Amino acid sequence: MTYSTIQFHPGPRVASIVLNRPPLNIINLEMLDELNAAWSEVEDLKAQVAVFFAAGDHAFSAGVDVADHMPGKIEGMIEKFHHLIRRIRKSDCVTIAAIQGHTLGGGAELALVCDLVVATTETKIGQPEISLGCYPPVAAAYLPAAIGFHKASEMVLLGEPVDAAEAERVGLINKVVPRANLNDTVDEYVDKLLAKSAVVLALTKRALREGAGHHFEKALDRSQELYLRDLARTEDMVEGMSAFLEKRPPAWRNR
């Protein structure tokens, strides 16, 4: 398959996927289709490790395209994005996110569901959706168990990003490195993983998922239901998205 919004580098043991819409690598519907197609190739290859990178120096991804949150598009966007998230999480393939710069909204959600996350020193991770009149369904399902209810509430309810040092401190990422060392650090992780038995690694990842419990899957189902059934029908969500696209402050109606 030919890709235009991502780069896909298949390998018999290691595959890499590069978000390729610089400078902010916004995730639109076309990219979601291509990410799901690339993930199908990863599964067909039975790759042991898959790494997510991003083109440019400014951002891993600033999130999902706001225009795709508008009525008529939001259901398809949520379905495609959550389908990708569930596939990555359930896969036996070990995933690594190599992030830099702005890692926000859906971009942060994509990175954080990976098994390992390496970030550059200038990385900012956040869920700013609340300021646009919505909430991040994946983060709402994932963060409370990952970093505790109160820190998760701070990130999601205030919508303010945290820097790489704070993200490492609370356990969102594994390691912070200078930008120049990002690829070498990822290569070190990959080399260590490839030194393990592929079948044992896959079974161990399954055991880790069991250790984390089934909270995420159930929580994401409920979070998605609330998002599409209740939130997407509010006047303020439409107003928040419209205000962002029109580059003006939102006029909340609180309904």
Catalytic residue at 129? yes
CA 108 to chain centre: 4
CB atoms within 10 A of CB 239: 17
CB atoms within 10 A of CB 128: 20
Catalytic residue at 210? no
User: Of 67, 49, 159, whose CA–CA distance to 114 is shortest?
Assistant: 49
> 24 CB contacts (<8 Å, ≥6 apart)?
58, 59, 61, 62, 102
Of 75, 109, 166, 225, the catalytic one is: 109
Of 41, 129, 225, 246, the catalytic one is: 129
Q: Which two structure tokens, joined as six digits, stand for 179?
A: 């930008």
Q: What is the DSSP letter of 254?
A: -
Q: Name residue 29's amino acid.
A: L
Bridging pattern class, strands 59-61 and 102-104: parallel
Supply the residues annotated as catalytic.
109, 129
